[in-house]
Structure 1
């Protein structure tokens, strides 16, 4: 497999088809995507002329924004009854993951069945759990959500429906960010869909500044995926 086509086995296991990330936008790379079946992702600067992508069957899927927070800019929020722990029922956390990611690019991809997009995020959370990279979020000892991370990267944030839109996710996320800063990191990073305004506002309120953006395009050759099983 050439360097400009990187296999993504974490997606293949959910969709049951070959999946790739395209790492270059030159003609050879794009022409290669015409010759094999599978699902392709390419991420490009937002000012890149998309006509070449469109000619090769790619379709716009999302714009990702990178919020970044320096330690000195961080706003710590506290509230009675709020706690964070790595002691949790993983099945309960996965149940939250199943309903938390409607803004994800695979949920928005009209070729991907919603149940497979849900499965992708649930498996991602399971991987993070296995690597001890999930914090459970509690409100008065009730599981309210989870926070997935890797190093200084904030990867996933999910809240139960009944705990949303109450200002709790802001406090809980702040507490998790503090734990990461306490590990010695000077800067935290995350990536948020431009469609997820609530999440962007959350991170902005905690001292994150919006930095880079990237446009994401998908392409599918062959039938729509039906899953690995």
Structure 2
């Protein structure tokens, strides 16, 4: 049964920020007038479970819901944008600085990916929350890689010679010919290869008969946003992220 307001515990985030965390999942509200009352029951459950920090994302078009969650004590933390390209089969590889693009195969490569994610990425759900120390947001990305490995996500590295300059982690639904790009980017100092990385990401998916690629990115990350636009992606949705300490 789908509830109006549900939640899931997020122990991977608890490891990073030192508080028991949960994500609030808000579905279509059957009676918008009773949002606060319904939410209060959910929060009470979470408090009884020892949860201390919660967060949710809401479609920008749902103005009333944005007001309701703030009325329940949430504060605005970040904005994210869902982008998509549904014509990957028409993609033509661009002439860009050459890199190799291959599946990550060993712990040494995973460690480099974790280092890049935690030290070179500056945007995200926790990075943009002024109430969370930036160092803890970096630890979250470091731990996130471990979770994605356990989930058996597809993990690729981009190399110049033998040096890893970037990576891509994606989840592919081959039955629907679609891919979600979970986390991708280049190391600090290797940003010149960012376009080359996306070049290879899209080509790799095209060669594997994937025609649809989507990603959720920070609206504040203008460089990456423009990168997606340059590769033919369009905006599907914008979400506002709200957080609350309980």
Q: Give the TM-score normalised by the residue count of structure 1.
A: 0.85
Please list every run of at least 4 consecutive aligned residues from structure 1 whose deviation after the TM superposition is greater than 3 angstroms. Answer: 32-35, 72-75, 78-81
After superposing the two structures, state which structure 1 stretch, 101-110 or 26-35, moved more: 26-35
Q: Residue 196 of structure 1: CA displacement?
A: 0.7
Q: Which has the higher helix share?
A: 2
Match of residue 169, structure 1, among 194, 213, 219: 194
Q: Residue 140 of structure 1: CA displacement?
A: 3.5
Check conservation: 1:75, 1:207, Cα contact below 8 A. no
Name which structure has the greater RCO, CA cutoff 8 Å, separation 6+. Answer: 1
Q: Residue 33 of structure 1: CA displacement?
A: 5.7
2:183 aligned residue: 156
2:20 aligned with 1:18: yes
Partner SS state of residue 23, structure 1: strand
CA–CA distance in structure 2, aligned partners of residues 140 and 80 of structure 1 = 12
Structure 1 residues without counterparts, runs of 5 or longer: 222-229
Flag the 1:202–1:217 CA change in 2: closer, same or farther, 3 A.
Answer: same
CA–CA distance in structure 2, aligned partners of residues 196 and 73 of structure 1 = 27
1:134 aligned residue: 155
2:77 aligned residue: 61
1:86 aligned residue: 103
Aligned length: 218
2:36 aligned with 1:27: yes
CA–CA distance in structure 1, aligned partners of residues 17 and 119 of structure 2 = 18
2:176 aligned residue: none
Flag the 1:132–1:212 CA change in 2: closer, same or farther, 3 A.
Answer: closer
CA–CA distance in structure 2, aligned partners of residues 40 and 73 of structure 1 = 41
2:146 aligned with 1:144: no
| CA-atom RMSD in angstroms | 2.2
